[in-house]
Amino acid sequence: MSKYRVGFIGTGKNRKNPSGLGYAMAYLHADGYKQLSDDCEMVACADIVEENARLFADTYGFSAVYTDYHEMLAKENLDIVSICVWPHLHCEMTVAACAAGVKAVNCEKPMALTFGEARTMLQVAEQHGTVLVFNHQRRFGLPFRRAYELAHRGELGALVRMEAAMGDLYDGGTHWVDMLNYFNDESPAEWVIGQIDAREDRRVFGAPVETQAICHVKYRNGVYGLFATGQGMHTLGCPFRLICEKGVIEVGADSQSPVSPDPGPMLRYRVDGVADWQSVDCKDEHLHGPGYIERAMADLVDCLNTGREPELCARHAMNATEIIFACYESSRRRGRVDLPLTITDSPIGAMIEKGKLAGRRHPTPEG
Ligand SMILES: NC(=O)c1ccc[n+]([C@@H]2O[C@H](COP(=O)([O-])OP(=O)(O)OC[C@H]3O[C@@H](n4cnc5c(N)ncnc54)[C@H](O)[C@@H]3O)[C@@H](O)[C@H]2O)c1
């Protein structure tokens, strides 16, 4: 069998010098494909900054470099395209890659800038038979996998409620909301009620995010979720808490708590009526890795070989994206949002543009 021809859109500047808004994620994708050299051959990349593309191509040993990704798609007969640009470009690039006939689009998170774009990506990929995945790579982490097993193996009874603390709903939050869906067996949400505050002009990878939010979700399987972002969220004591009928699971307890001077292990649980927490060995894996992105690439390639649905499929990503946009929409409507969500825009973007958010200190450049 011939190897999958892999191309990249948006290489990033330099992997050795990542910054808060310049992670050069394409290098992490490429490191994953490199480990899959029996199946994959990296052949081309496109970046509007030619120097970025050249450095990337030199690093991975190929020569086809483009500054126009359309030209790359037209000429390179690619099977897999990794899209590693900021979210406002995810939709147009995914649509173009699907139309060019690639077998798989491996797009970075968050899905898109607006809910309508996210839906379009899903529809276009389906129309073209393209496998579309989003890099919510934590699904491959041991702390998360073992937490899932704990929540479902019966000892703690059924999952009742999930709590989570995150920096914001849209950017980091897309990972967090996605992990909660993973813990909850992908049950779609039934309704979302939330409120946001965006008094600071915060943008992550160009996208507006809130300063603070509270979000309450009811999932169709009867489980509830309560998430907080921004100020005070650390007081939860851990990024994820899963409350079951007969006990509690905490993921990432050692990662962040100012209220807990002696924080616990990466994964722990407590059975009702038993005083001590039990810690679970996660083999030095933590909230962010290592190895999660490599496993995500391997899963995608295995899915192309076997035809099964990838763990990071667009269907899963859409479940998380719907909850995130529904929380912003709830803030705009000042009421509960019953799903499915039918909006097409970005409620937070629209509220900022129209000056509808209370207490906003810094106007955006546009307004
Ligand atoms: N999965 C994760 O854990 C994770 C972590 C960090 C970032 N991300 C996501 O990865 C994505 C990329 O972030 P990054 O930090 O790697 O970005 P980056 O700024 O390091 O790289 C983006 C590259 O895209 C190029 N680019 C911009 N417009 C282009 C165009 N029209 N055509 C071709 N190239 C273009 C830029 O020149 C730049 O080199 C974002 O969506 C971000 O949210 C994911």
Same domain, 42 and 149: no
Q: Where does ligand 1 bind, in terms of residues with CB under 6 Å?
A: 9-13, 22-25, 46-49, 52, 69, 84-87, 89, 108-109, 135, 137, 205
Are 365 and 333 in a shared domain? yes
Same domain (yes/no): 104, 250: no
Shared domain check, 296 and 251: yes
List the domain range (segments joined by +) for residue 64: 4-137
Same domain, 224 and 278: yes
Strand partners, 42: 6
Of all protein residues, the one whose alpha carbon is nearest to atom 26 of ligand 1 is 10
How close is the Cα of 333 to the center of ligand 1, in Å?
32
Q: How far apart are CA 311 and CA 299, in angstroms?
A: 7
- Whole-number Å distance, alpha carbon 106 to ligand 1 midpoint, is 13
How many structural domains comprise the chain?
Answer: 2
Half-sphere exposure (Cβ direction) of 85: Cα atoms closer than 13 Å: 23
Q: Which among 76, 107, 137 is the end of a domain? A: 137
User: Cα angle at 324 between 319 and 325, to 5 degrees?
Assistant: 100
Residue 258 and residue 248: Cα distance in Å, rounded? 20
Task: Take residue 343 and report the two structure tokens written for it.
Answer: 């909006």
Residues 269 and 356 in one domain: yes
Residues 195 and 252 in one domain: yes
The DSSP line for 86-105 is -GGGHHHHHHHHHHTT-SEE
> Using one digit for the tens of pLDDT, what is the confidence trace for 118-149?
999 999 999 999 999 999 999 999 999 999 99
Closest residue by Cα to atom 40, ligand 1, is 86
Q: Which of 94, 118, 137 is the last residue of a domain?
A: 137
Ligand 1 centroid, distance to 100 Cα (angstroms): 21
Which CATH number covers residue 192? 3.30.360.10
pLDDT tens digits, one per residue of 228-278: 999 988 888 899 999 999 999 999 976 655 545 555 689 999 999 998 999
DSSP assignment of 208-233: EE-SEEEEEEEETTS-EEEEEESTTG
Among residues 121, 137, 153, the one where a domain terminates is: 137
157/132 same-domain check:
no
Identify which has the larger pLDDT, 223 or 365: 223
The rounded Å distance from CA 23 to ligand 1 centre is: 7
Are residues 74 and 167 both part of a single domain?
no
pLDDT digits (tens, 9 = 90+) for 60-86: 999 999 999 999 999 999 999 999 999
CATH code of 97's domain: 3.40.50.720
If asked whether residues 48 and 164 sit together in one domain, one would say no
Kindly report the protein residue whose alpha carbon is nearest to atom 38 of ligand 1.
Answer: 12
Cβ atoms of 11 and 45 within 8 Å: the answer is: yes
133 shares its domain with 193 = no
CA of 165 to the centre of ligand 1 (A): 25
Under DSSP, is residue 75 helix (H, G, I), strand (E, B) or coil?
Answer: helix
3-class DSSP state for residue 301? helix
Per-residue model confidence as pLDDT tens digits over 264-284: 689 999 999 998 999 999 998
User: Same domain, yes or no, for 124 and 142?
Assistant: no
Whole-prediction pTM value?
Answer: 0.95
* Residue 207 CB-density burial (10 A; 0-12 exposed, 13-18 middle, 19+ buried): buried
